[in-house]
Amino acid sequence: KANVVADALSTKEQEPLRVQALVMTIGLDLPKQILNAQTEVRKPEKH
């Protein structure tokens, strides 16, 4: 039973790391997406 509890704790600890990794990648991609959105909005003004 102790091993089962240890496994459950280890899996629970691993999941937040995956979430943090996703948040980091999304956080890094957000500025690019914002810049792309801004450039797309500015394009019609040039025309």
Q: Per-domain residue ranges for the chain?
A: 22-47
pTM above 0.75? no
CA distance 12 to 35: 36
Residue the block writes with tokens 């997406």 = 33
CA distance 47 to 40: 12
Query: For residue 47, what is the DSSP state?
Result: -
CA distance 40 to 38: 5
pLDDT per residue as tens digits for the range 27-47: 778 778 888 888 887 776 665
What pLDDT score does 6 carry?
A: 75
Residue the block writes with tokens 């990648």 = 25
